[in-house]
Amino acid sequence: MEAYLFDWLSLLGRWLHMITGIAWIGASFYFVWLDNHLEAPQDPRLREAGVSGELWAVHGGGFYNPQKYAGTPPSLPAKLHWFKWEAYTAWMTGMFMLGVVYYAGAGSPLIDRQVADLSPALALCIGLAFLAGGWLIYDQLCKRLASQNRLLAVILAVLTSIAAWGLCQLFSGRGAYIHFGAMLGTIMVANVFFVIIPGQRAMVDAAHAGIAPDPQHGRRGKQRSVHNTYFTLPVLFTMISNHYPMTWGSALPWLTLIGIAFAGVAIRIWFVMRHKQQVTGKTSPWPLLAGIAGLIVIALVLRPSAGPDTNTADTPAAQFTKVQQIINARCVVCHAAAPAQPGFATAPKGIRLDTPEQILNHAHALRAQLAARAMPLGNVTNMTDQERSAVIAWIDRGAPH
């Protein structure tokens, strides 16, 4: 019953996290697009009122005319819309999911004894330290290098790469990837909570007091918003990476993580540049090409290689019998109609391997998980390298049976 309850908590938490994440990222992407598409108003009355940019759009059967003021408008309306709870709720639900999936129970998704022999309590402390430490270091760098954006970008690139490497030396591949994304996500929401929203409150207070707002609030908010939009694609990748062990289960998972993260940043840079095309007159294709080229190189490097060809002298039936014995001993404890492994109410992802038909139906997925060393989870059943290679080789021969 406890495992069943955790399944429901995971389902509802993941669902809510996805909904709030879409709301936050959607609003963020829209305002980046909006800010880069504003044009100087043609109406002199708008210019006199302090409007620095506007645009016209049509959507959902109606026309819209957003306007942006260079400073404080002559008067503020009684109802002013804020965009903050999308970010806060996305982070809270993300932390809830981190607790349910990686911190609760035995901690097997987070801990890989072949990487580092950590206790669940120590792994939890290290994970939270990366989240808090990432924000503290980032925030201090932004404050000290506020006017040196290029240098700041280089330092952040180096430090996030070091963080990716460090996480992969401590946690399982999937645990390292999700904590890298959670660290960036924490930085993003902390930017909203500690910098962007307080700056906006100060601007509103200045408007109500009838004084000019401090321009530093706008500069800081703009800087952090730009950082948030570049962090978004790497964060989204880590959120779905759990389903793709070919990435975090590779020989150098930290290098794969860094490569895909930088490809995401490059592609997002191109999209932002594309938004500004109306101002610059052209968009350089190099960031987009660099991002796509990086992904292609990573895909080529990670392509699976055939396992050692063994037991070819055996008949197909004999080969399958040996493979089934390995799977029964190492995999069926979880992937069965009634899993014997504590913590599982049903077979993970609904994949059962307790019948010959099920083994054959899932042979392709089984190979990917075994090659990436993603399964057995945390190698709780002590599958040997010889057993792993034998199953992979059998699948590469076409799964004879």
Q: Where are the domains of the chain?
A: 2-40+86-301, 316-396
Per-residue confidence (pLDDT) for residue 278, from 0 to 100: 63
C-alpha dist (Å) from residue 213 to 124, 142, 217, 297: 42, 21, 8, 48
Give 347-394 as a DSSP string: -GGG---SSHHHHHHTHHHHHHHHHTT--SGGGTT---HHHHHHHHHH
Maximum distance among all Cα pairs of the chain, rounded to whole angstroms = 88
Average pLDDT over residues 43-51: 93
> Can the peptide bond before residue 77 be classed as cis, meaning omega within 30 degrees of 0?
no
Q: Considering only CA atoms, which of 166, 87, 103, 111 is closest in space to residue 134?
A: 166
Residue 51's DSSP bridge partners are: 69
The 8 Å CB, 24+ separation contacts for 308-312 are: 308/389, 308/393, 309/393, 309/396, 309/397, 310/389, 310/390, 310/393, 311/390, 311/393, 311/394, 312/397
Residue with tokens 């992407």: 29
Average pLDDT over residues 133-142: 98
Pair 374, 388: CB distance under 8 Å: no
Angstrom distance (rounded) from CA 86 to CA 200: 16
Q: Considering only CA atoms, which of 87, 49, 393 is closest in space to residue 235?
A: 87
Residue 159 has pLDDT above 80, yes or no: yes
Angstrom distance (rounded) from CA 320 to CA 326: 10
Per-residue confidence (pLDDT) for residue 303, from 0 to 100: 86
Q: Report the range out of 34-43, 69-78, 105-114, 262-271 with the highest average pLDDT.
A: 262-271
Angstrom distance (rounded) from CA 195 to CA 217: 8
Pair 118, 109: CB distance under 8 Å: no
Give me the phi and psi of 224, to 5 degrees please: -70, -35
pLDDT in tens, 285-297: 999 999 999 999 9
∠ Cα 362 299 287 (to 5°): 140
pLDDT level of residue 124 (50, 70, 90 thresholds): very high
pTM (2 decimals)? 0.88
Q: Which percentage of the chain shows pLDDT scores above 70? A: 96
Residue 52's DSSP bridge partners are: none
Residue 307 CA, distance from chain mean position: 31
pLDDT in tens, 203-219: 999 988 888 889 899 89
Residue 343 CA, distance from chain mean position: 25
Per-residue confidence (pLDDT) for residue 356, from 0 to 100: 93
